[in-house]
Amino acid sequence: MVAIADSVPKPASRFRFILDRRDVLGAIFVAPAILYVLLLVGVPFLMAVYYSLSAYTIYNPTWQFVGLSNFIDVVGNPVFRQTLYNTFIFTFGSQILGLILGKFGALLLLRPFPGRKFVRAIIILPWAVPIALATVAWQWMFDSLYSVINWTLIALGIIDRSQAPNWLGNPDLAMLSIIVVNAWRFFPFAIVIFLAGITAVPQDVIDAATVDGAGFWRRNYQIIVPMILPIVAIGLVFGIVFTFTDLSIVFLMTNGGPVGATSVLGFAGFQTGIVSGDVSHGAAISLFMLPVLLVVVIAMLRFIRRREI
Amino acid sequence: MAAVSTRDIVKKFGEVPAVNGISLTVPDGEFMVLLGPSGCGKTTFLRIICGLEKQTSGDLMIGGEVVNELPPRARGVAMMFQSYGLYPHYTVRNNIAFPLKTQRVPRAEIERKVEWASQLLGIGRLLDRRPRQLSGGERQRVALARALVREPTALLLDEPLSNLDAKLRASARLEIKQFQQRVGLTTIYVTHDQVEAMGMGDRIAVIDGGCVRQVGTPAEIYDNPADRFVATFVGSPPMNILSQNGGYLGFRPENFLPKDMMEDANFAEFNYRVDRSEYLGSERIVYGVVEGFDPKQVVTAKLPPAHVAEESIRPGEWHPFAVRTSALRYFDKDGNRTSRH
């Protein structure tokens, strides 16, 4: 026996295969996302919390700690309470309207008809069109003089020119208007959610319900809707979060008016904190979104987990 | 419970006929199996009976009444689906109760009937579970309980055993059959599995290309097939078919035996070259060709291994084989059965 080569194996470098380790590689991949969230969401959030506890304004940028006095000011202000109320009406009104439109839109789009693919494609437009553009179009439709809605109603003989509604001038109608615009924006998303849910319900289950004697309504509301509720709830969480924090429609269409009737939290926070320069009160107003959204999201997620099937 | 009968049912999807004129009568209490290959129209036919599809033409009678225009819920038939179609968000109890709730049966009555159906199928302890917590066999029982609970006029089953494993399938087959006999329910059972069809059906309707090829008891279907399709579709391995005198000659593999095993005096003799044989424990399947016929036509023989001498089936050699005359079947050039050539 001859030992041909008795070379001692060279110990591999400790770092040579470091990228083969799942934990290291995973951390590297996820790091940009975590950094992004920390720097662009976490830091501004903590700053907002601090601003709301300080006396910071852009005219007097002091970091003086004032405790909860900003919050006490805000809550004591009847205009703010109106704003908070508006935000709820705006959010839930547009979500309910959007869900109803989405449900029926989805049912219609499930039926075969000529041009269905085309309709399915363009129905997504309200969601894809830039909000500023769409809102300008809606503003004209609600205009006090040139409203195409009023024109149509007059032309159809439903109303008289003298009693034509001033959509954006009447507090209730203004709220209705922004709800309609937001629902119009949200309903293609709701249609997609409902379509995804309904097509995922096995045909056998629907057929079984039909043979078991369920008609259209019972099939829809005792079988299909409960089965797609988890996915609809996810869509609703998204809708509520986005609407509750939204200010663009109000900002572009009504500017919160008339007399604060359509002011919502995001808009009021922006007006007070940025436009008026009272950063600390603006931050306090905006932070009122947090507990509400937290409760909504936790409740929804718990509900979804319970309903998991 | 009621008889179900159809007259010239046609169903077209666009221009394509899925069901092409089926007339079938299922008497009250009969277990009828619709047997056919996939795509033959048997499931479409079943869906027409329960009203999920509307026939293009033809009449459907349940209990002597024409029900063409009645919606599914008014027909009183129950159906069990291939994947059972249980409602995942309901408990077993509510699944079974659902057909009763749609008929606005009083609550106490519903409770009593759910109890009855679950006892009948031995699923009483599962009542508060949800479908996802059940095994395949349990789901099948729940689906059956749901179908039975409102005492339907007829029970329709669409390949109900295809989601079960082989072992469970055998026991479920027996169970469904015994159960049907006990309740005496008119049953129409769709399958592509001939073992299920032969084992369960009072009668079998063999369907192909949207038409009924033959209706008969399992023995009639097997022993006296009406045409080449039935002859080759039923039986495993299928009947051997040989071209002869412009028609076809058929015989079952188990009737094709070494000549020295013939007990009958009347038999037809063939010279058989064995190419390959498979030993399957209880039987031996032998593949080969018969002298004087198309050499590409593989002829199979199914032999009882215990009684066949090894040398009489040695591969590569010609052996004298025979079929009793009474086991020979003749078909004309269109594949229809004739008495002789």
Do the Cβ atoms of A282 and A272 come closer than 8 Å? yes
Cβ of A226 within 8 Å of Cβ of B79? The answer is no
Question: Across the interface, which of B81, B88, B89 has its CB nearest the CB of A207?
Answer: B81
CA distance A95 to chain B (A): 25
Closest Cα partner for B233 from B269, B274, B272, B204?
Answer: B204
**A/B interface, count of CB pairs below 8 Å:** 69
Do the Cβ atoms of A250 and A264 come closer than 8 Å? yes
pLDDT at residue A3, rounded to an integer: 55
pLDDT at residue B122, rounded to an integer: 85
CA distance A115 to chain B (A): 18
Q: What is the pTM of this model?
A: 0.77
B130 to chain A: which residues are within 8 Å by CB? 309
Burial class (CB in 10 A: 0-12, 13-18, 19+), B74: exposed
pLDDT at residue A4, rounded to an integer: 61
pLDDT at residue A6, rounded to an integer: 61
Assign a CATH topology to domain A76-307: MetI-like fold (1.10.3720)
Cβ of B73 within 8 Å of Cβ of A213? The answer is yes
Phi/psi of residue A262, each to 5°? -120, 15
CA distance B286 to chain A (A): 43
Cβ of B88 within 8 Å of Cβ of A227? The answer is yes
Distances, alpha carbon A45 to alpha carbons A42, A284, A298, in Å: 5, 12, 19
pLDDT at residue A58, rounded to an integer: 79
- Asked if A33 is an interface residue toward chain B (Cβ–Cβ < 8 A), one would say no
Burial class (CB in 10 A: 0-12, 13-18, 19+), A239: buried
Between positions 216 and 245 of A, the ones with CB within 8 A of B are: 218, 222-223, 226-227
Low-confidence residues in chain B, pLDDT < 50: none
Residue A206 CB coordination number (10 Å) = 19
- Which of B47, B50, B73, B146 should be substituted to probe chain A, the one whose Cβ sees the most A Cβ atoms within 10 Å? B73
Domain borders along chain A are 76-307
Strand order of the β-sheet with B267-279 is B257-258, B318-324, B267-279, B284-290, B299-303
pLDDT at residue A134, rounded to an integer: 87
Burial class (CB in 10 A: 0-12, 13-18, 19+), A257: middle
Cβ of A307 within 8 Å of Cβ of B72? The answer is no
Question: Across the interface, which of A207, A223, A309 has its CB nearest the CB of B130?
Answer: A309
Low-confidence residues in chain A, pLDDT < 50: none
pLDDT at residue A115, rounded to an integer: 86
Task: Show the domains of chain B with their CATH numbers.
Answer: 4-228 (3.40.50.300), 238-338 (2.40.50.140)
Cβ of B98 within 8 Å of Cβ of A209? The answer is yes
The secondary structure of B70-117 as a DSSP string is: --HHHH-EEEE-TTTT--TTS-HHHHHHHHHHHTT--HHHHHHHHHHH
Do the Cβ atoms of B194 and B236 come closer than 8 Å? yes
pLDDT at residue A5, rounded to an integer: 57
Which of the 8 DSSP states describes residue B239? P
Compute the distance between CA of residue B332 and CA of residue B335 in angstroms, rounded to an integer.
Answer: 5
- Which of A211, A216, A219 should be substituted to probe chain B, the one whose Cβ sees the most B Cβ atoms within 10 Å? A211
Q: Which residue of B has its CA nearest to A206?
A: B85
